């Protein structure tokens, strides 16, 4: 009885084994097929994650780029427009080894042994440094530019951005206070690059008064007691962000704040990669604030 | 005193209700802005539209009511599941019902169905909870040993967690990921009366389905054969607990995320006071669940570090050690 039972069980397992083998076969073959189909040029430059894409698309000519990551053309990508028509990769080492690019740029994707694996295959790579603060983020383009053989382009980018940064800091400041809002109900407080960008634009934020540190849910009770003067919002218009009754920012007070207060919608691409495009973001906030009457034409506080 | 109370279930319920009322008032006083009882009362009953009134009426009250409703649901279903499965470890969180409801809710957010209809999240959460409860019933109904239940719970939880991880893996942007992570951590912060109105009907229907199962659970504690011989429709009792749990826990998860261990902790303590009769555990467990949830929510508002404490985390810190303790105490029966 027991033997017959066991035999029956063994026989039933075969379809599962066959299905598993087919599945594994498909998985194993997938990267190779993807790489063969990729229209990338041979021995070009490749970036394997979102922030590395920004460096590569910002500094290199399109003809030199063999592939960028699959995130490069998304709405949150600053250089999304330049990524159109460029081959994409998912960033796995197998994929990269098959492509044999001239140089691989990465920031976080690839894993701890990525450099070693690529070096063994004769593929030079560079992991861009993690920068904190607006100036360091801008200057990181110099380091990456040198490694990409694009030092001259990087130098122009950095010099121009630093000059605009100095100019922004020299402009008169407003004493209006902003709050940063996202569809998920999260806000950025002290110690975040978004807070730095709003301050760079010449405004203050409620982070200090409301005790908001880093990234956290918006403290609605505090906003009711001391409402901000205006809202800086991001991600609301992005096509892949679903705003619904169940989003973090669904509360009536949240909606009322955005309805009643002047709101500046900053395109999410300005906030990509930890503040690398902080100058653009700050200038955008300033120009929108002027249009909303939050700044006088001379750039002085309009309150 | 406790012994005297144990003989008078109404007295226990009254004491718990008074405790719940006091906790509700305290919950209304503390937050990002602390209020005096006078300010709270004036904001609650005055018709003014000042900031304090908005905080009390639009932020604190929905939070308090949702917390109580959710806590009562988790406490009641915990006691009912423990009675049905004759197992002290049965809790919507431990056996994977909450995680499965969470998977349903997160899937609705990820797939964008939540943008089509506000009901999508609670409906999918209830669907997840129903599937998990049915699987559990299939796996553990015949063999109600603790080991079977734990293994079934681990299996269902793992499956749901894997599903949530898969959805998070494919999150289209950081915003969606944040939404999902917050859901999984459980919170009552920034809830509205709209949330309450969406979830409450399903929770109440779930409760209504389970009303009167106490007698059946009492009979089931003697074994299903004995329950049959006593004229109890065992199948009907089981189905009512399964459906009621799925509806009420699914709706609860959709409104306050995955908050575990309430259904484990509460009946355990109530049992220590009023004994092991499943029917007598139900109502006090519901009130105690509401009380525990309200107290835990007050705790999340304490200034701890730079961030915000989430309700699910607080409950896990309270519940997980007790879970281990119960396993330790009942390890002799694990077969």
What pLDDT digit, counting tens, does each position of A157-192 carry?
999 999 999 999 999 899 999 999 988 888 888 888
Closest approach of A19 to chain B, Cα-based (Å): 20
> In A, which residues are within 8 Å of B108 by CB distance?
246
Neighbour tally for A265: CB within 10 Å: 16
* pLDDT tens-digit series, residues B91-100: 888 788 889 9
Residues contacting A236, CB < 8 A, separation 6+:
A182, A183, A243, A265
Q: What is the pLDDT of residue A35?
A: 39
Binary contact (B32, A221; C-beta < 8 A): yes
Name the band, by pLDDT with cuts 50, 70 and 90, for residue B335. Answer: low
pLDDT of B183 higher than 70: yes
Rg (CA), chain A: 25
pLDDT-derived band at B146 (thresholds 50, 70, 90) equals low
Provide, rounded to the nearest whole percent, the portion of chain A with pLDDT above 70.
84
CATH number, domain A172-291? 3.40.50.1980
Q: What is the pLDDT of residue B3?
A: 65
- A30-128 belongs to which homologous superfamily? Nitrogenase molybdenum iron protein domain (3.40.50.1980)
Instruction: Quote the pLDDT of residue A288.
Output: 95
Which of B66, B115, B175 to mutate to test binding with chain A, by most A CBs within 10 Å of its CB?
B175
Nearest to B33 among A221, A252, A254 (CB): A221
Distance from CA of A95 to the nearest CA of B (A): 20
pTM: 0.76
Q: How many CA atoms lie within 13 A of B293 on its CB side?
A: 34
pLDDT of residue B152: 83
pLDDT in tens, B244-274: 998 999 999 989 988 988 998 899 889 888 8
**For B83-87, what is the mean pLDDT?**
85
User: Are the beta carbons of B12 and B273 closer than 8 angstroms?
Assistant: yes
pLDDT at position B174: 65
Above pLDDT 90, what percent of chain B? 37
ipTM (interface pTM) = 0.71
For A248-273, the pLDDT digits (tens) are 777 888 888 889 999 999 999 998 78
- The pair of structure tokens assigned to B136 is 């559990």
Supply the pLDDT for residue A297.
63
Cα B311–Cα A251–Cα A269 angle in degrees, nearest 5: 95
> Is the model more confident about A179 or about A296?
A179
B310 inside 8 A of chain A by CB: no
Sign for the CA dihedral angle at B278, B282, B283, B284 comes to positive
Q: Which residue has the higher pLDDT, A42 or B211?
A: B211
pLDDT tens digits, one per residue of B193-207 = 888 998 999 999 999
Residues of A in contact with B114 (CB under 8 A): 242, 244-247
Strands A215-217 and A88-89: unpaired
In this predicted structure, what is the pLDDT of residue A20?
A: 55
Cα separation, B102 vs B185, in Å, equals 10
pLDDT tens digits along A59-106: 999 999 999 999 899 888 999 999 999 999 988 888 898 899 999 999
Residue A21, pLDDT > 80, answer no
- Residues of B numbered 75-104 whose beta carbons fall under 8 angstroms of chain A's beta carbons: which are they? none
All structural domains of chain A with their residue ranges: 30-128, 132-170, 172-291
Instruction: Compute the nearest-CA separation of B194 from chain A (Å).
Output: 9
Res. A10: pLDDT tops 60: no
pLDDT, residue A9, reads 46
> What b/e sequence results for B276-290 when a residue is b if at least 16 CB atoms lie within 10 Å of its CB, and e otherwise?
eebbbbbbbbbbbbb
Q: Please indicate whether residue B2 or residue A207 has the higher confidence score (pLDDT).
A: A207
Question: CB contact, 8 Å: B142 with chain A?
Answer: no
Task: Return d(Cα A236, Cα B175) in angstroms, integer.
Answer: 10
B242 pLDDT exceeds 80? yes
pLDDT for A33 equals 40
């Amino acid at each position: 009885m027991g033997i017959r039972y066991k035999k029956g069980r063994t026989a039933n397992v075969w379809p599962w084994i066959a299905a598993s083998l087919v599945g594994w076969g498909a998985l194993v073959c997938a990267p190779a097929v993807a790489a063969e189909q990729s229209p990338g040029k041979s021995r070009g430059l490749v970036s394997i994650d979102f922030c590395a894409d920004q460096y590569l698309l910002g500094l290199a000519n399109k003809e030199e780029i063999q592939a960028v990551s699959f995130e490069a053309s998304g709405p949150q990508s600053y250089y999304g427009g330049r990524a159109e028509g460029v081959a994409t990769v998912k960033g796995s080492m197998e994929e990269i080894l098959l492509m044999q690019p001239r140089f691989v740029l990465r920031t976080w994707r690839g894993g701890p042994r990525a450099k070693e694996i690529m070096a063994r295959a004769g593929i030079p790579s560079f992991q861009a440094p993690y920068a904190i603060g607006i100036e360091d983020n801008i200057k990181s383009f110099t380091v990456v530019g040198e490694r990409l053989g694009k030092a001259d382009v990087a130098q122009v980018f950095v010099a121009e951005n630093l000059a605009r940064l100095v100019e922004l800091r020299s402009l008169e400041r407003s004493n209006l206070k902003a709050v940063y809002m996202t569809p998920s109900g999260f806000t950025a407080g002290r110690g975040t690059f978004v807070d730095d960008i709003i301050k760079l634009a010449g405004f203050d934020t409620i982070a200090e008064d409301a005790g908001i540190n880093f990234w956290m849910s918006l403290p609605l009770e505090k906003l009711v007691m001391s409402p901000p003067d205006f809202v800086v919002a991001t991600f609301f218009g992005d096509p892949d962000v679903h705003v619904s009754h169940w989003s973090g920012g669904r509360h009536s007070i949240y909606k009322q704040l955005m309805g009643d207060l002047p709101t500046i919608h900053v395109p999410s691409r300005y906030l990509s990669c930890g503040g690398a495009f902080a100058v653009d973001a700050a200038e955008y906030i300033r120009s929108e604030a002027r249009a909303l009457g939050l700044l006088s034409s001379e750039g002085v506080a309009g309150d | 005193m406790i012994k005297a109370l144990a003989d008078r279930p109404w007295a226990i319920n009254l004491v718990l209700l008074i405790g719940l009322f006091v906790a509700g008032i305290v919950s209304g006083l503390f937050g990002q802005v602390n209020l005096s009882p006078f300010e709270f009362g004036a904001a609650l009953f005055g018709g003014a539209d000042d900031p304090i009134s908005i905080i009390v009426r639009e932020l604190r009250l929905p939070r308090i009511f949702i917390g109580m409703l959710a806590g009562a649901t988790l406490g009641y279903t915990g006691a009912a599941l423990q009675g049905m499965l004759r197992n002290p470890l049965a809790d919507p969180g431990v056996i994977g019902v909450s995680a499965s409801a969470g998977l349903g809710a997160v899937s609705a957010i990820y797939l964008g169905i939540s943008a089509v209809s506000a009901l999508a999240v609670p409906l999918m959460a209830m669907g997840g909870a129903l599937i998990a409860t049915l699987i559990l019933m299939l796996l553990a109904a015949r063999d109600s040993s603790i080991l079977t239940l734990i293994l079934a719970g681990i299996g269902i939880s793992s499956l749901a967690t894997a599903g949530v991880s898969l959805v998070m893996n494919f999150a289209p942007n950081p915003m969606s990921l944040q939404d999902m992570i917050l859901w999984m951590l459980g919170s009552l912060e920034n809830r509205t009366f709209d949330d309450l109105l969406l979830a409450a009907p399903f929770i109440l229907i779930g409760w209504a389905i389970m009303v009167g199962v106490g007698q059946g659970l009492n009979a089931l504690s003697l074994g299903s054969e004995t329950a049959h011989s006593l004229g109890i429709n065992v199948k009907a009792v089981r189905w009512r607990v399964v459906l009621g749990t799925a509806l009420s826990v699914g709706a609860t998860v959709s409104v306050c995320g995955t908050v575990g261990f309430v259904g484990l902790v509460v009946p355990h303590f109530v049992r220590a006071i009023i004994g092991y009769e499943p029917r007598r555990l139900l109502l006090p467990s519901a009130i105690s669940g509401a009380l525990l949830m309200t107290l835990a929510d007050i705790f999340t508002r304490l200034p701890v570090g730079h961030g915000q404490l989430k309700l699910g985390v607080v409950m896990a810190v309270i519940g997980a050690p007790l879970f281990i303790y119960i396993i330790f105490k009942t390890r002799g029966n694990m077969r």
